[in-house]
Amino acid sequence: MKTRRRALFTLLAGTAVLTGCASPQVTDYAQERPLLELDRYFTGRVLAHGVFQKRNGAVARRFTVVMDCHWEGNQGVLDEAFTYSDGSTERRIWRLTKHADGRYTGRADDVVGEAQGQTSGNAFRWNYTLRLPVDGKEYEVQFDDWMFLVDDRVLLNRATMSKFGVTLGEVLLSFTKQ
């Protein structure tokens, strides 16, 4: 009986600790300013500089992105041209739809299904699965993408990349509106 109580106490204590470590929600930033509206920020040319860090923190890739963005009504196109430090290039064209209450959906050729996102205050959280080519093979990896508008020109982005719930690394980006 004593062992059972101790196990129950340990379980309850562990649950309390995990509950206290709940991850943030995009709505936690509802009062933060400036207000992030993707259709206003991602209009015209936007430049980005970033790194991909492995899960141990080592920088594996550095890159720049030139984005040409436009919107017609609630439909947006973000045309991204990546240039990596090794000289390789990549292109991704996002097609976004703005919905009510700050929700966004998006598609791109290398995205599996539809990306789902939500803005609130100065923040945007974006979740999607990306087909990632590595050494001649393709892997489907999940992205949990957070963006924070610092001022009218600068937007910071941190994306966690995982597979089967295991973190593979992080992408850090700084966007600058031109």
Write out pLDDT tens, residues 45-84.
999 999 999 999 999 999 999 999 999 999 999 999 999 9
Strands (E), 55-136: 59-72, 75-84, 89-98, 103-107, 111-120, 123-134
pTM here? Answer: 0.86
Write out pLDDT tens, residues 2-52.
655 554 444 444 444 444 568 999 999 999 999 999 999 999 999 999 999
In the numeric block, which tokens belong to residue 64? Answer: 């720049």
Tokens 């196109």 belong to residue:
77
